[in-house]
Amino acid sequence: MIYWRDKRSQKDQAEKLENVYSNKDGLNRRAFGLFPQPKDSKPVRIDLSTNVNFQKFIVALEGQEETTCVRLISPSRKVRAAALILRGRVLGCIYGRDEQDQLLGQEAYRRMTAEMLLDDIIVDSYKIDDKTAIASSAMFHGELFSAPSSMTSDEIFKFSLKNLLDTKMPGTILINEMDATKAVLYTFKGKVHGLFSFTDGWLEPSVEAAEELLRNTSANYSVQASKLLCANIFELKQFSFSMTGLGDAVKDVKQYQSLSLNYDELANLDKKNKDSLSKALSESKEHRADQNKPPKPFKFGMDP
């Protein structure tokens, strides 16, 4: 039987930010190296030498509804952490320290922000696009495809990719060699949205480019596919939390209760400095037309 099951926490160790892209062999063995890599914007070093700078940093990311990755290391304490931020809300976080189990989610973020107030840290951040962030979150909140032992890696790749494209669900496919990741493929709304190689960087986002990459991969490669079962923005929101805590303290949540908007609404949020996420959503023509309709049922498992 072929099915998607709950994804388990990854326990890989992370390394320094300067070497986050890959090892010398072009493979990634680091947990937070699996976060989306910089594409159009370069990482910017963040000065958090004072409490004021720290507060300004997280308030600005949340208030301006940035979509970004934030990475941290402490060489002396051997701490590595990274957070995936979608429109100012934390969508995923990993915190690791040598000889200790990795933490995920809110506890990881709490430890990460506590580290930001200490000495001897390196913090950087870089912007990513919304679609890549959502697809990447499947590694935290999605379901893992579990294939029968009779399937080859090539069959698993083709089958899981076809399912992600057919169901139009956000997802990721990790292409691994031995115990390390060679490439990450991102899907969004029935298309290959991104393809990152730890050897060659960002490649053409297409099925053909992925198949070409596999032809240049050793025969003993493996595949790990995750699918995010969130069909719209509101369903995704349950997996996120406020960076400052202020966003989750708001008691009046009526503006979210009727939302069943698909991800096309993200295209309406380019002017995020002028219009907030909630305002843009509430003023959507599609929202006003569809807000009284019953939500569409989910299609689980391998159903198209």
Task: Say if residue 131 is in the same domain as residue 152.
Answer: no
123: in domain = yes
Distance of CA 240 to the CA centre of its chain: 11
- The pLDDT value recorded for residue 225 is 93
Same domain, 54 and 104: yes
Whether residues 72 and 34 share a domain: the answer is yes
> In terms of residue numbers, what domain contains 195?
145-227
Q: How many domains does the chain have?
A: 2
Predicted model pTM: 0.76
CA atoms of 202 and 95, how far apart (whole Å): 26
Query: Do 73 and 188 share a domain, yes or no?
Result: no
Average pLDDT value over all residues in the chain = 77
Specify whether 80 is located in the same domain as 122. Answer: yes
Contact status, residue 132 vs residue 36, Cβ threshold 8 Å: yes
The answer to whether 287 touches 303, Cβ cutoff 8 Å, is: no
Q: For the segment 65-113, what is each residue's pLDDT rounded down to a tens digit? A: 889 999 998 888 889 999 999 999 999 999 988 777 889 999 999 999 9
Identify whether residues 45 and 11 lie together within a single domain: yes
d(CA 137, CA 91): 7
Residue 251 lies in a domain: no
Cα separation, 56 vs 103, whole angstroms: 25
Highest-pLDDT range among 38-47, 146-155, 220-229, 238-247: 220-229
Highest mean pLDDT of the ranges 32-41, 210-219, 250-259: 210-219
Which distant-in-sequence residues (6+ apart) come within 8 Å of 140 by Cβ?
A: 7, 84, 91, 92, 104, 105, 239
Residue of 62, 143, 63 whose CA lies nearest to 109: 62
Show which of 92, 107, 135 is a domain's final residue.
Answer: 135
- Mark which of 74, 102, 135 sits at the end of a domain: 135
Q: Same domain for 92 and 195?
A: no
In sequence order, the 6+-apart residues with CB closer than 8 A to the CB of 65 are 87, 88, 269, 272, 276, 277
> Which tokens in the block code for residue 92?
């995923």
Helices 207-215, 153-167: crossing angle, 10 deg rounding: 170
- Contact between 52 and 69 (Cβ < 8 Å): no
Domain boundary, last residue among 165, 198, 227: 227
279/269 Cα distance (integer angstroms): 10
Q: How open is the CA angle 65-71-77, to the nearest 5 degrees?
A: 140
Instruction: Answer whether residue 248 is part of any domain.
Output: no
Write out pLDDT tens, residues 163-197. Answer: 999 999 999 999 998 778 899 999 999 999 999 99
Residue 254 lies in a domain: no
Q: What is the rounded CA–CA span in Å between residue 3 and residue 203?
A: 29
* Contact indicator for 184, 31 with CB cutoff of 8 Å: no
Other CB atoms within 10 Å distance of the CB of residue 188: 24
Answer yes or no: is 95 within a domain: yes
- Both ends of the chain: CA-CA distance in Å? 16
- Going across the sheet that includes 3-6, the strands are 3-6, 143-146, 221-227, 171-177, 180-188, 191-197, 201-203
| Domain-located, residue 44 | yes
Mark whether 111 and 11 lie in a shared domain: yes
- Residues 128, 157 within the same domain: no
Q: Are residues 82 and 188 in the same domain?
A: no
Report pLDDT for 141.
93
User: Is residue 71 within 8 Å of residue 35, measured between CB atoms?
Assistant: yes
Beta bridge partners of 105: none
Share of the chain above pLDDT 70, in %: 70
**Residue 204 lies inside a defined structural domain of this protein:** yes
| CA neighbor of 57 nearest in space, from 82, 273, 30, 66 | 66
Domain shared by 12 and 108, yes or no: yes
In a domain, 304, yes or no: no
Spatial CB neighbours of 279, under 8 Å, sequence gap ≥ 6: none
